[in-house]
Amino acid sequence: MDTSQYLSMFLEESMDNLQTLNQALLQLEQEPDNVDKLNEIFRVAHTIKGMAATMGFNGMAQLTHKMEDVLAEFRNGELKATQEVVTVLFKCLDTLEQMVDIISNGEEKELPVEELIQSLETISKNAHDGKLGVEDASTSNKDQIKPKEAEKTPDEKNNGNNIDLNEYDINVIKQAIEKGFNAFSIDIKISESTLLKSARAFLIFKNLEEHGEIIKSIPGTEDLENENFDFEINLVFVTHKDKDEIKTILLDISEVDKVEVKEADIVSGAKISYKKAQEKAETEVKPVVKVEAVKAKTTAVAKKNSEPKKKVHQSVRVELERLDKFLNMVSELVINRTRLEQISSIYKLTELNETIEQVARTTNDLQDLVMKIRMLPLDSVFNRFPRLIRDLSVELDKDMELIIEGQDTELDRTVIDEIGEPLIHLLRNAADHGVESKEKRAVSGKTPVGKIRLIAYQEGTKAVIKVQDDGAGINVERVKAKAEQSGISTDGMNDNDIKNLIFAQGFSTNEVVTDISGRGVGMDVVKTKISALGGTVDVISEEGKGSTFIIKLPLTLQIITALLVKVGDESLAISLNYIDSVIDYKEEDIKKTNNKEVIIYRGNVLPIVRINKKLGLGETASGKVYIVVVNVGEKTAGLLVDSLQGQQDIVIKPLGKTLKGLKEYIGATILGDGFVTLILDVAAFV
């Protein structure tokens, strides 16, 4: 049977669900008695298992099934979310992520899960302490309290339908009706030519659960997953939607032949309406069912009722490849607009000018729109870090807390994809080098729990990300000694320059190499990655108080405004993001210190960089020369250029493999006249 059409949906939803599980487990470890969180974990784990079984990924389904057994022990109160148990569950999640990656890459290999399953079985066995094994975890609480057939009262049977409702089901439906929900019995007939019944059932359940809650289904979940049913599904469903809307939603699913929606008859011989339910509530004492899941379910229904109704199809999913093509087309439009503007200025055509101005406005709007479409919140990167700090806390035996601020700050998708690795290095560095052990913190008069802060915010056309810790800070003398030992001269450097030496290739102050740090590659990777993204990274540290790493990144990478300059006979582009100002060059203003050229600018010493010498370009005969003052992080410098050619929007094109090693450039652009111009990497010069 072909499941390829569902594969992309399965992979995307699996990764989302695994991330949800990671966050929920972290919270459950902190709040072991949080029943709502426990129910959420159980529900998500069950969804993953169902999807995996439907798609035929038995290893995933088997592992998740065993996880459900342990989660069932939590729900039954026989097991507490201790660090040891949660660590095993985290290992399971890591393995499931690896399985999803393997499936995504189209690989055939299978990961061994026997050891993990054995660990989960041991946890369940210890929880039971010799009792019978846990019931099938796919069975929800409502099935676990289902009374025996002989004990059912007539009120507990749905005479109008083929679904028997127990006391728990009835109680949930009654409470939902009292809150204004509709309760329906739904009969669905799937086409007999359907090749993959379980996948079709999965889509039916998925579509319905977007609009309400499925109380019961026949056949049950296990039978649906294993395709152990004919072509009919019977459901009891509560929702705000009416009959016709539900019918339309279901009939829109391909291979669904017939749908019958009726009001659910939960009392023999009578249909319960909202009004009748209210009357019954005043005259009857409702049965109390002491099951936490009932509370959780009715709470969820109540929340849905209180939330404002959202319109369907507020957003659509688009493949990233299409989005990239869209951006490339807009980029070409920007290049052609520049060419038209150039032609218009040369020939001075008034009518053409007016049209070009209109095209320019439309192009700018389109450009802004495509940039906004590509923007993603940093939350998609930040949400994996609480788990990272938790694991490091256990591994290093340090009490640490991660505080995240500004995770809704948005960046271009390209930046989002690349920023994760540098941040992981910085956080691991803060945990290992920064935060001290409990004993050392006590001696220093600090709280036993070390605090690591991850802060993001927008500053003009840049995004700023800070990684702060309240640890030991950077020991300047230690860094200096290590630098001298490595053959790096520190003459003429101030303390801040010495601290920034930690970004040098192969530099590490750790004497012992561990799995976490000490190889001298982490900070080098951070610097290289951030520079490749057109950003900067600096460190501010005070010994005994902690360190702050400050990353500044452009909000977008593809289309930027740049200043075009001439150096020798070559045209070059400098991003306006770096430029502070442009001043006239006067030979008499140049001073020398430590054999380096500087000028006094706004009361500060400004180093001068002669671009033509750095790039091996000749000088022009023109007398006027300019200094472009640029800021890179905390540093300021002046770039000497021969002439200015104005500013314009340019499209950054990556350099090919042949020129990829040139660190002086971040890419190239095509100007309106068709000439290719290189874009300077200002950070490399400063």
The whole-number pLDDT of residue 11 equals: 83
Using CA atoms, how far residue 651 sits from 333, 336, 677, in Å, is 10, 11, 11
Six-digit token string for 312: 């369907």
Q: Cβ distance 556 to 651 under 8 Å?
A: no
* Ramachandran bin of 257, using left for φ above 0, alpha for ψ from -120 to 50, beta for the remaining angles: alpha
Catalytic-labelled residue, pool 68, 156, 341, 418: 68
302 or 345: which carries more pLDDT confidence? 345
Q: Beta 604-610 vs 665-670: how paired, if at all?
A: unpaired
240 is catalytic: no
The whole-number pLDDT of residue 455 equals: 93
Six-digit token string for 79: 């097991």
The whole-number pLDDT of residue 589 equals: 81
684 or 22: which carries more pLDDT confidence? 22
The whole-number pLDDT of residue 70 equals: 83
Question: Strands, DSSP E only, in 435-578?
Answer: 450-459, 462-469, 536-542, 546-554, 559-567, 570-575
Six-digit token string for 254: 């391909």
Are 515 and 384 contained in the same domain? yes
Are 340 and 402 contained in the same domain? no
Residue 315 covered by a domain: no
Query: Which residue, 524, 554, 584, sits at the end of a domain?
Result: 554
State how far the Cα of 541 lies from the Cα of 63, in Å rounded to an integer: 46
Are 182 and 45 contained in the same domain? no
Find all residues with CB under 8 Å of 129, minimum gap 6, and list them.
none
* Residues forming a β-bridge with 516: none
254 or 315: which carries more pLDDT confidence? 254
Q: Quick one: which of 581, 563, 580 has its CA closest to 572?
A: 563
* Ramachandran bin of 674, using left for φ above 0, alpha for ψ from -120 to 50, beta for the remaining angles: left
The whole-number pLDDT of residue 305 equals: 46
Q: How many structural domains comprise the chain?
A: 5
Are 158 and 274 contained in the same domain? yes
What is the pLDDT of the chain when averaged over all its residues?
A: 77
Q: Quick one: which of 436, 439, 435 has its CA closest to 427?
A: 435
Are 160 and 288 contained in the same domain? yes
Alpha helices (H) along 290-319: 292-306
Q: At what angle do helices 413-429 and 385-396 cross, to 10 degrees?
A: 20
Kindly report the number of other CB atoms within 10 A of residue 230's CB atom: 10
Query: Which residue, 506, 529, 554, sits at the end of a domain?
Result: 554
State how far the Cα of 316 lies from the Cα of 368, in Å rounded to an integer: 19
What average pLDDT does range 633-654 have in this prediction?
83
The predicted model scores a pTM of 0.59
Six-digit token string for 415: 């930046």
We report the CATH number of the domain holding residue 165 as 3.30.70.1110
Identify the domain containing residue 441 by its residue range. Answer: 378-554
Lowest mean pLDDT among 49-63, 474-488, 500-514, 607-621: 500-514
429 is catalytic: yes
Catalytic-labelled residue, pool 17, 158, 182, 429: 429
Query: Which residue, 554, 576, 591, sits at the end of a domain?
Result: 554
Are 35 and 54 contained in the same domain? yes
pLDDT band for 163, please (50, 70, 90 cuts). low
pLDDT band for 365, please (50, 70, 90 cuts). confident
The whole-number pLDDT of residue 518 equals: 45
Q: What percent of the chain has pLDDT over 70?
A: 81
Instruction: Lay out the sheet containing 559-567: strands in order across.
Output: 643-651, 559-567, 570-575, 676-680, 665-670
Six-digit token string for 235: 């459901």
Catalytic-labelled residue, pool 46, 65, 425, 433: 46
State how far the Cα of 493 lies from the Cα of 387, in Å rounded to an integer: 39
State how far the Cα of 43 lies from the Cα of 34, in Å rounded to an integer: 14
Lowest mean pLDDT among 307-316, 326-335, 444-453, 579-588: 307-316
Residue 318 covered by a domain: no
Find all residues with CB under 8 Å of 522, minimum gap 6, and list them.
425, 428, 429, 508
We report the CATH number of the domain holding residue 43 as 1.20.120.160
The secondary structure of residue 36, as a DSSP letter, is H
State how far the Cα of 186 lies from the Cα of 165, in Å rounded to an integer: 14
68 is catalytic: yes
Residue 597 covered by a domain: yes
